């Protein structure tokens, strides 16, 4: 990528930023956070065993991790007071410290509390990454840049899960957290060196005053509100699918834990394919067309999962398409989000994280009861309806650059 000047709306003027190293550093730091957030989930039973604890204590952890995203809008206010460089240090420093405290956890409940801290710090950092890309990259190329940054989410699973399993088996339960924390430390150093370089002049008073109205600006911009509704709805439908496909596959095809783990890895590949797709396609075929087309295919995928449920290979192909189209639609929409309220990008990004969290929390509470009452068809039908509503909400989004 070529040289560009990242003139943050909240951080003040800054020297020229080389986008290649800058985005690479952000991918490393956020990748460490995503790995620490996603990779431990399949292994919490082994962590519980290290303390002689009941793994059922983690039963509500999925809801709690989703709830951690509700704190994300706070970062918009903090950034208005402190600047993006300082708030990034606080969020990333909190993540590194949390990982570093894992070896000293006295019990399983303490581990779960620290793990929740990982979710909170990740929620605070994510909007700042999206805001940086919005400030530094022209809108015409923003889909490509956001696609690169969002690779961290897919790689956090594809790389993080094997690393976590290897270190638990060869060392101890806390070794992976320390490793991710060290990777985050390196990532933070690189981010401060290449992305969030030190401002060369004080932040203007006018910028500080304008940031105080960013909350009102988000909620009085129709396009921004519609984008928040879109994100809530597709996150709801995705969580419905995520929580119900495993129990259904296990019952329908007698799959064991190891086989379900392999299925999850295969579906994780769909995330990687989706991120690569956004890098290659979103800016070429258009952001609006990308989001609407992927969301329509995403809605159709719910129907395909039910229709092809007679065979393992066909239903796996349908699930692969479902996860791929969801991730593509989500990442493509972030490029639009970055221009919805240009003067309040971090605040807007914080609310995006929070509304996605609300969608996942609501789905986590009803997914399995819904599956028990209506089966796979009922769960996937609800997912398809909410996804169609998301497409309808996005249809009315207009971004004025």
- Residue-wise pLDDT tens digits, 350-391: 999 999 999 999 998 898 899 999 999 999 999 999 999 999
Q: pLDDT tens, 77-98?
A: 888 888 889 999 999 999 999 9
Q: How many residues does the chain have?
A: 401
Domain 216-395 homologous superfamily, CATH = MFS general substrate transporter like domains (1.20.1250.20)
Rounded Cα–Cα distance for residues 222 and 340 (Å) = 9
- Sign of the C-alpha dihedral computed for residues 323, 327, 328 and 330 taken in this order: positive
Q: Where are the domains of the chain?
A: 11-212, 216-395
CATH fold match for the domains 11-212 and 216-395: yes
Q: Is 13 helix (H, G, I), strand (E, B) or coil?
A: coil
Percent of the chain at pLDDT above 90? 59
More confident of the two residues 386 and 52: 386
More confident of the two residues 135 and 63: 135
For residue 387, which phi and psi values (nearest 5 degrees)?
-70, -40
> Which helix (H) or strand (E) element contains residue 297?
helix 287-307
Say if residue 205's pLDDT is above 70: no
Lowest mean pLDDT across 220-229, 244-253, 371-380? 244-253
Say if residue 272's pLDDT is above 80: yes
Cβ atoms of 376 and 306 within 8 Å: the answer is yes
**How does residue 258 score in pLDDT terms, banded at 50, 70 and 90?**
low
Structure tokens at 22: 């800058």
Q: What is the mean pLDDT of residues 103-111?
A: 92
Task: Annotate 39-53 with DSSP letters as a single string.
Answer: TTGGGHHHHHHHHT-
Domain 11-212 homologous superfamily, CATH = MFS general substrate transporter like domains (1.20.1250.20)
DSSP 16: E
**How does residue 200 score in pLDDT terms, banded at 50, 70 and 90?**
very low
Rounded Cα–Cα distance for residues 142 and 149 (Å) = 11
Cβ atoms of 29 and 187 within 8 Å: the answer is yes
Rounded Cα–Cα distance for residues 338 and 125 (Å) = 15
Average pLDDT over the chain, rounded to an integer = 87
Lowest mean pLDDT across 43-52, 72-81, 255-264? 255-264
Q: What is the mean pLDDT of residues 389-398?
A: 95
Say if residue 209's pLDDT is above 70: no
Q: pLDDT tens, 302-316?
A: 999 999 999 999 999
**How does residue 201 score in pLDDT terms, banded at 50, 70 and 90?**
very low
Q: Is 106 helix (H, G, I), strand (E, B) or coil?
A: coil
Rounded Cα–Cα distance for residues 382 and 399 (Å) = 29
Q: Is 54 helix (H, G, I), strand (E, B) or coil?
A: coil
pTM of the model: 0.86
Q: What is the mean pLDDT of residues 229-242?
A: 95
Say if residue 237's pLDDT is above 50: yes
Say if residue 12's pLDDT is above 80: no
211: which residues sit within 8 A by CB, 6+ positions away? 9, 10, 76, 79, 80, 81, 344
Confidence (pLDDT) at 208: 46
Hey, which of 345-349, 363-367, 390-394 has the most confident mean pLDDT? 390-394
Confidence (pLDDT) at 165: 86
**How does residue 199 score in pLDDT terms, banded at 50, 70 and 90?**
low
> Token match 């990034």: residue?
88
**How does residue 247 score in pLDDT terms, banded at 50, 70 and 90?**
confident
Confidence (pLDDT) at 104: 95
């Amino acid at each position: 990528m070529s040289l560009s000047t990242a003139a943050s709306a909240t951080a003040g003027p800054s020297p020229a930023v080389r986008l290649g190293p800058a985005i690479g550093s952000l991918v490393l730091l956020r990748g460490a956070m995503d790995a620490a957030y996603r990779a431990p989930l399949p292994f919490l039973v082994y962590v519980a065993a290290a303390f002689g604890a009941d793994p059922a204590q983690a039963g509500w952890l999925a809801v709690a991790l989703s709830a951690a995203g509700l704190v994300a809008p706070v970062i918009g206010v903090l950034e208005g007071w402190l600047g993006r460089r300082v708030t990034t240090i606080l969020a990333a420093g909190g993540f590194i410290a949390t990982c570093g405290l894992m070896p000293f956890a006295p019990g399983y409940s303490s581990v779960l509390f620290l793990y929740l801290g990982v979710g909170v710090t990740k929620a605070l950092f994510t909007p700042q990454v999206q805001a940086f890309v919005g400030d530094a990259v022209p809108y015409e190329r923003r889909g490509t840049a956001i696609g690169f940054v969002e690779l961290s989410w897919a790689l956090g699973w594809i790389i993080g899960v094997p690393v976590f399993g290897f270190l638990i088996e060869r060392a101890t339960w806390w070794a992976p957290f320390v490793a991710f924390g060290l990777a985050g430390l390196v990532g933070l150093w690189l981010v401060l060196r290449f992305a969030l370089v030190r401002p060369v002049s004080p932040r203007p008073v006018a910028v500080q005053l304008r940031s105080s109205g960013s909350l009102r600006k988000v909620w009085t911009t129709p396009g921004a509100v519609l984008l928040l509704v879109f994100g809530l709805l597709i996150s709801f439908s995705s969580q419905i699918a995520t929580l119900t496909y495993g129990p259904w596959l296990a019952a329908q095809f007698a799959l064991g834990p190891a086989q379900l783990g392999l299925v999850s890895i295969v579906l994780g590949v769909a995330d990687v394919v989706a991120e690569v797709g956004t890098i290659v396609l979103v800016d070429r075929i258009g952001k609006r067309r990308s989001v609407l087309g992927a969301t329509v295919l995403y809605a159709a995928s719910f129907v395909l999962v039910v229709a092809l449920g007679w065979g393992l290979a066909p239903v796996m192909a349908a699930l692969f398409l479902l996860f791929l189209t969801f991730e593509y639609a989500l990442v493509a929409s972030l490029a639009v989000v970055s221009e919805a309220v240009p003067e309040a990008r971090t605040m807007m990004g914080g609310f995006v994280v929070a509304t996605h969290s609300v969608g996942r929390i609501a789905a986590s509470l009803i997914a399995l009861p819904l599956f028990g009452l209506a089966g796979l068809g009922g769960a996937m039908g609800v997912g398809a309806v909410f996804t169609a509503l998301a497409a309808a909400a996005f249809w009315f989004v207009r971004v004025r650059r």
